[in-house]
């Protein structure tokens, strides 16, 4: 799976985009055009409108073909997303996380879908055009670009006429490649790039571009501490590089000491996962975590490695 762990925990919380942090495994399977057909029947029985804002996100998953084609969300699409964000009572800047859309195929039909900003780099890097992937998506509603264009007080005179028909907005929040898993089982040691510890290569703050994901079987020691300032610097860099809003850093404030075999690791853990660990795992108990290696910071002549944990592996 390509789910970058903090998407699984932060995108939903930071944006209030979908089902209040429910597990990906709870997403029902629902084809895109089956859902669109269902919504179209409901809308056809109502008066014509510029927009239809969905009160519920109806999160689901389905198989699609990635075409590799992308474009910037258009003027009226941006306007619709702005209105949708306002309806969710979250900060306006969260709309900036849905700025690009990608063309996907389901059967012989195609659909442009916005993809959350922090996911686009992984999508383009990992998935080949024509590859089938499993997407996790949610529903925003629909808008009529033709009607909005006619009412536009400052239209782009060079723009082509928009279609006078509803365009359905379903956004991709995660994807899974069917050929592999993002969280490979194994020890955390295997994720570490020891070459970065060589003399002359140690950096004050180093973001690991590999973003290695590991499903690690660990022992919970019960020790918890606030993230030290030096490690917080790297965490801030990780959030910024991954495209998260600044407010998202508040979702991870503590780290927990775990044992992986005979090695000790302080791992930064999101708040809700830490609460779950404290409630369900006894001191000295085993727990399997989905982790990502953010990078490392200088600690004298050594590297202090920073792992992040977004969720307990099921």
DSSP 276-295: HHHHH--TT-EEEEEEEEEE
Domain with 240 in it: what CATH number?
Answer: 2.40.50
What phi and psi values does residue 138 have, to the nearest 5 degrees?
-140, 165
Among 75, 137, 76, 56, which residue's Cα sits nearest to residue 102?
137
- Of 160, 177, 194, which residue sits at a domain end? 177
Is the domain of 160 the same as that of 206?
no
Pair (261, 297) in one structural domain: yes
Same domain? For 285 and 160 the reply is: no
Q: Which two tokens stand for residue 225?
A: 């501490």
Q: Are residues 168 and 297 in the same domain?
A: no
232 and 286 housed in the same domain: yes
Q: SS3 breakdown of the chain: % helix, strand, coil, rounded to 5?
A: 30, 35, 35
Position 160 scores a pLDDT of 72
Domain boundary among 177, 193, 215: 177
Residues 299 and 168 in one domain: no
* 88: exposed, middle or buried (Cβ count in 10 Å: 0-12, 13-18, 19+): middle
Q: Are residues 14 and 161 in the same domain?
A: yes
Q: Are residues 200 and 168 in the same domain?
A: no
State both tokens at 232. 């917080």
Q: 248-286: buried (b, 16+ CB within 10 Å) or exposed (e) per residue?
A: bbebbeebbbbebeeeebbbbbbeebbeebeeebeeeee
The count of domains in the chain is 2
User: What does the pLDDT profile of the chain (314 residues) look like in tens digits?
Assistant: 444 434 433 444 444 333 334 456 678 899 999 999 988 888 887 777 778 888 788 899 999 999 999 999 988 889 889 888 888 777 777 788 899 999 999 999 999 999 998 888 888 888 889 989 999 999 999 888 777 777 776 767 666 777 767 889 999 998 887 644 468 889 999 999 888 888 888 899 999 888 888 999 999 999 999 999 999 999 999 988 877 777 778 889 999 999 999 999 999 999 999 999 999 999 999 999 999 999 999 999 899 999 999 888 86
31 and 155 housed in the same domain = yes
Q: Which residue has the tokens 């490979």?
A: 184
Domain housing 50: 5-177
Q: Which residues pair with 218 in a beta bridge?
A: 287
* pLDDT the model gives residue 145: 79
Helix (H) or strand (E) holding 184: strand 184-185
pTM: 0.55
Q: What is the predicted pLDDT for the residue at 23?
A: 56
Residues 172 and 216 in one domain: no
* Buried b or exposed e, range 135-160, using 16+ CB within 10 angstroms: bbbbbbbbbbbbbbbeeeeeeeeeee
Structure-token pair, residue 16: 């209030």
Q: What is the dihedral of CA 50, 95, 71, 69, to 10 degrees?
A: -110
Q: Within this chain, do residues 116 and 165 fall inside the same structural domain, yes or no?
A: yes
Q: Which of 136, 154, 177 corresponds to the end of one domain?
A: 177
Q: Are residues 190 and 130 in the same domain?
A: no
């Amino acid at each position: 799976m390509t789910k970058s762990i903090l998407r699984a925990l932060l995108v939903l919380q930071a944006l209030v985009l979908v089902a209040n942090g429910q597990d990906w495994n709870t997403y029902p399977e629902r084809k895109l055009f089956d859902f669109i057909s269902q919504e179209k029947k409901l809308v056809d029985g109502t008066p014509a409108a510029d927009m239809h804002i969905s009160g519920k996100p109806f999160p689901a998953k389905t198989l699609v073909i990635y075409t590799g084609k992308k474009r910037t969300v258009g003027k009226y699409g941006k306007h619709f997303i702005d209105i949708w964000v306002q309806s969710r009572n979250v900060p306006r800047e969260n709309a900036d996380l849905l700025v690009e859309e990608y063309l996907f195929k389901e059967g012989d039909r195609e659909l442009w879908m916005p993809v959350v900003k922090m996911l686009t780099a992984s999508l383009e890097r990992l998935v080949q055009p024509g590859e089938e992937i499993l997407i996790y998506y949610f529903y925003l509603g629909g808008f009529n670009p033709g009607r909005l264009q006619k009412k536009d007080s400052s239209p782009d005179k060079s723009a082509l006429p928009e279609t006078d028909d509803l365009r359905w907005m379903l956004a991709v929040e995660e994807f899974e490649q069917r050929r592999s898993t993002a969280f490979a089982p194994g020890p955390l040691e295997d994720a570490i790039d020891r070459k970065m510890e060589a003399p002359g290569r140690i950096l004050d703050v180093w973001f690991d571009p590999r973003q290695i994901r590991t499903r690690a079987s660990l022992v919970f020691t019960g020790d918890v501490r606030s993230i030290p300032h030096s490690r917080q610097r790297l965490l801030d860099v990780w959030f910024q590089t991954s495209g998260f809003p600044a407010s998202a850093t508040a979702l991870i404030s503590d780290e927990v000491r775990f044992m992986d075999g005979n090695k000790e690791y302080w791992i930064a853990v999101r708040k809700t996962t830490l609460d779950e660990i404290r409630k369900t795992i006894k001191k000295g108990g085993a727990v399997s975590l989905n982790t990502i290696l953010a990078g490392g910071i200088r600690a004298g002549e050594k590297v202090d490695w920073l792992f992040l944990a977004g969720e307990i592996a099921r």
